[in-house]
Structure 1
């Protein structure tokens, strides 16, 4: 069973949502304030967060940013943001701050369950599917697929689970051009029903984290590819 932490000040949402998600093997714990969420995160393990955009104390976007810059255990926990405002700007901001997915209110509970299943599957597949080759080496960059760790000359590179999966997807086939729709399909495990701008946001975030390396190349009207030359691979 996967444990979820819902941070939403709508107290009426928690009970029916917990009842519905239980059929998908989710246990939902609900709090109404970011401070209460931090208190639970400090002592309990959660597999993913469902984070409302409008909250007391601070909004969900600021809280998402705080989590991504906080303890190591919080940096990679999948975050699905909910908000009553479904415009493109909100979606862009949420993804830029490190959210893994985004769903506008009002939402269908079945879609929420499907999106949660997708980001959780994405977070756990890489360790489970580790191949005999666990270290991908490139000029200035190493990717340890067994430990899901990325490092460069300046030290470890902190990536969210979605950023890591995108980097690994591109790095496994250096030079191959992936379109935005293809990237969305591969990462989400479903049709690209959100918006291709999400890929641009992810790549922009990753480029900032990988600076000064120029690992990701943009091909106008085509997509993205991994551009670092290989230094060979270590087999375990």
Structure 2
């Protein structure tokens, strides 16, 4: 990944005017910004330069943003874990749900205020920084055959590596650190991203479904992350 002193952002967006405006704004805010006008070019730049975060538009001239997201998540090694902030059409929750399901870390509907984009970028990068801090990286958490390594940011089940995005890893850690406590969706989001941003209500449900698919023997009959109807979720202390 890029040097911590200047976080690097790759914007994959075919609207040249919007891309220029965002690039200038983020550059003034202390980021390095590269731009790709289509999905294939964006994928090539991603593999060449390994940015810290990708701003990904859904509507691209060659490959749609959802497919670009899928391809990023299938790349080898650390490239697959890059944070993705997806730009979606305003008022279309299905695009947001699908984007989260296939691995986007956050979303922002168009049109948007540059300040909100900046706040969301900082929140995503802060989550990464928080989890490389001394407090977050101190220990390995074990729950039966489930092991969470906060230092390496990996999750294994029975020795097999679980496929989680950076945001889903953070959600799992937040739940595991509060094992046995019933948490509302708002409490879970607060634990991961703070109060400064409003979040899409159902995004937590989408991510929990993805986490279950990665760590449960039977995602339809979960034993690790349980739903408490009308309240939220609880990470079970006793497992396996």
Partner of 1:234: none
In 2, Cα distance between the equivalents of 1:172 and 1:16? 40
1:135 aligned residue: 140
Q: Which of 104, 110, 114 pairs up with 1:105? A: 110
Q: What is the TM-score when the length of structure 1 is the normalising length?
A: 0.92
Whether the aligned pair in 1 keeps the contact of 2:90 and 2:111 (CA below 8 Å) is no
* Distance in 2, Cα, partners of 1:192 & 1:31: 27
For 1:54-93, what aligned pairs fall within 5 Å after superposition? Answer: 54-93=59-98
- The answer to whether residue 179 in structure 2 is matched with residue 169 in structure 1 is no
Question: Quick check: 1:123 aligned with 2:128?
Answer: yes
Higher mean alpha-carbon deviation, 105-114 vs 70-79, is at: 70-79
Question: Offset of 1:30 from its aligned partner?
Answer: 0.4
Alignment deviations for residues 35-58 of structure 1 (CA, whole Å, 9 cap, x no partner): 111211222120100000101221
The separation in 2 between residues aligned to 1:51 and 1:120, in whole angstroms, is: 16
The counterpart of 1:227, out of the listed 212, 230, 236, is 236
For structure 1, which segment, 19-28 or 191-200, has the greater mean C-alpha deviation from structure 2 after superposition? 191-200
Cα shift at 1:119? 0.4
Per the TM alignment, residue 25 of structure 1 is displaced from its structure 2 partner at its CA by 1.0
**Cα shift at 1:69:** 2.0
Equivalent residue in structure 2 for 1:181, among 167, 179, 186: 186
C-alpha separation in 1, matches of 2:197 and 2:9:
25
Structure 2: which 5+ residue stretches go unaligned?
Answer: 1-5
Aligned residues: 231
Look up the match of 2:225: 216
Question: Structure 1, residues 193-226: CA drift from partner, whole Å, max 9, x if none?
Answer: 2322111001001111113062101000111111
User: What CA distance in whole angstroms lies between the structure 1 residues aligned with 2:197 and 2:13?
Assistant: 27
2:81 and 2:33 map into 1 onto residues whose CA distance is 19
For residue 203 of structure 2, what is the aligned residue in structure 1?
Answer: 198
Name the Cα RMSD after superposition. 1.8
